[in-house]
Structure 1
Amino acid sequence: MAELHILGQLHGVSDFKEQSSLFCRYSLQTGPNWTLICGCSEGQTVSGKPDFKKSVIWAQPLNLHYVTKGIQGWPKLVLQVSCLDSVGRSWIVGYGVCNLPASPGYHRIEVPCWVPTAVTVTDKIRQYFLGGTHQLTQTDIVNLGTDRHKLNTQSKGSVQLDIHIVLRNFIQFGIEYK
């Protein structure tokens, strides 16, 4: 069987305008041909206050080992950046998704994030006075991309990901990499 090793870290986040602490929930989604041998495919980072550059460093380690019978359903990383205020309330301030690179070696990936926007005046007033943002009820929109064109969204900051991809035995399946 072909093997994929993902080693690296969720480095941090930048350009989010929120002043409260930020943290990230993440999960790696794969197709049915993939089996996780070692590591945890989902987790959560620590929370941290943005500095003067509007960035937070998480340095959340990633170490996963997959085996597969085919490349269909190549792993993708799904992110939810959340805000934690001084009262202890949390809400999602950004969604993001990226396909992991299929070429071996080091990769620095910048994942752009977005959030649904308030459309009505009532929603905008509620959001201004009570805080929080609109959240998705069906999170499949994030990783599948279906019906996302129907959403009104707003760009947010981005999440930086530093990873090393190690491939093994892919040549046996007719996949060449350089």
Structure 2
Amino acid sequence: MAELHVIGQLVGASGFAESGLFCKWDIQAGGAWQLLGGRRQGQTQVDEPQAGDVAYWCHPIDVHFATKGLQGWPRLHLQVWHRDALGRSAPAGYGLVTVPARAGWHRVACGTWRPRGGPRQRLARRLLGGGPALRRPGPALGAAERCRLRTEAAGTVHLQLAVLPRHLARYGVRA
């Protein structure tokens, strides 16, 4: 049985118009993948950038999978949220990144997007905060589902991941 160990961190985010950012993350894998250790989902703390537009989280990720097949390779679903001065939380961006298949240390930048909404919703977002959000963000993060939405770029989430594969050569993957 092949194994995949992913150790790293959600470093932070940049390029978002909002401040007070935090990230909810979730690792999804196919049916052949079994989680042996670690947490499949989590949430970072809120960071208020003091200088510039970079929010730092340094939130750890440590998961260990076993698999009998390569279909459904693990992907990180990211939801960046912002908290305003009144304590309200609203989504600032959604992102999806596939865990690298190559062994080693990887710096990954995940571009995020958010639903654009109509002119009235965009004006309300600027004046009141909030804005359109996805009811079920998990399935809508893929390219096939996203192409039906009107979206706009939001910002970038920065990750550092160490990928440690074991016995993947049996399945034709050179790591």
The alpha-carbon deviation at position 148 of structure 1 amounts to: 1.4
Q: Describe the SS at the equivalent of 1:123.
A: helix
**Where do 1:167-178 residues align within 5 Å?**
167-177=165-175
Q: Which residue of 2 aligns with 1:96?
A: 95
Instruction: Report the AA paired with residue 113 of structure 1.
Output: T
For 2:37 and 2:44, locate their aligned partners in 1 and report how far apart those are by CA, in whole Å: 19
RMSD: 1.3
Instruction: Report the AA paired with residue 57 of structure 1.
Output: Y
For 1:147 and 1:164, locate their aligned partners in 2 and report how far apart those are by CA, in whole Å: 29
Q: Which residue of 1 aligns with 2:68?
A: 69
Q: Which residue of 2 aligns with 1:127?
A: 125
The alpha-carbon deviation at position 156 of structure 1 amounts to: 1.2
Q: Describe the SS at the equivalent of 1:6.
A: strand
The alpha-carbon deviation at position 153 of structure 1 amounts to: 1.0
For 2:26 and 2:84, locate their aligned partners in 1 and report how far apart those are by CA, in whole Å: 24
Instruction: Report the AA paired with residue 42 of structure 1.
Output: Q
The alpha-carbon deviation at position 88 of structure 1 amounts to: 1.1
For 2:154 and 2:66, locate their aligned partners in 1 and report how far apart those are by CA, in whole Å: 34
Work out whether 1:137 is the aligned partner of 2:135.
Answer: yes
Instruction: Report the AA paired with residue 112 of structure 1.
Output: G
The alpha-carbon deviation at position 154 of structure 1 amounts to: 1.1
Work out whether 1:37 is the aligned partner of 2:30.
Answer: no
For 1:146 and 1:173, locate their aligned partners in 2 and report how far apart those are by CA, in whole Å: 27
Paired residues in the alignment total 174
Following TM superposition, the consecutive aligned residue runs of length 4 or more in structure 1 with deviations greater than 6 angstroms are none
What TM-score do you get using the length of structure 2 for normalisation? 0.94
Consecutive unaligned residues in structure 2, runs of 5 or more: none
The alpha-carbon deviation at position 151 of structure 1 amounts to: 1.4
Q: Which residue of 1 aligns with 2:158?
A: 160
For 2:117 and 2:163, locate their aligned partners in 1 and report how far apart those are by CA, in whole Å: 39
For 2:126 and 2:14, locate their aligned partners in 1 and report how far apart those are by CA, in whole Å: 22
Query: Could you report, residue by residue, the CA deviation over 1:62-117 in whole angstroms, capped at 9, with x for unpaired residues?
Result: 11000000111000000000001121100000000011110000000000011111
Q: Which residue of 1 aligns with 2:85?
A: 86
What TM-score do you get using the length of structure 1 for normalisation? 0.93
Q: Describe the SS at the equivalent of 1:146.
A: helix
Q: Which residue of 1 aligns with 2:17?
A: 17
The alpha-carbon deviation at position 174 of structure 1 amounts to: 3.4
The alpha-carbon deviation at position 118 of structure 1 amounts to: 2.4
Query: Could you report, residue by residue, the CA deviation over 1:18-40 in whole angstroms, capped at 9, with x for unpaired residues?
Result: 13x10000000100000000000
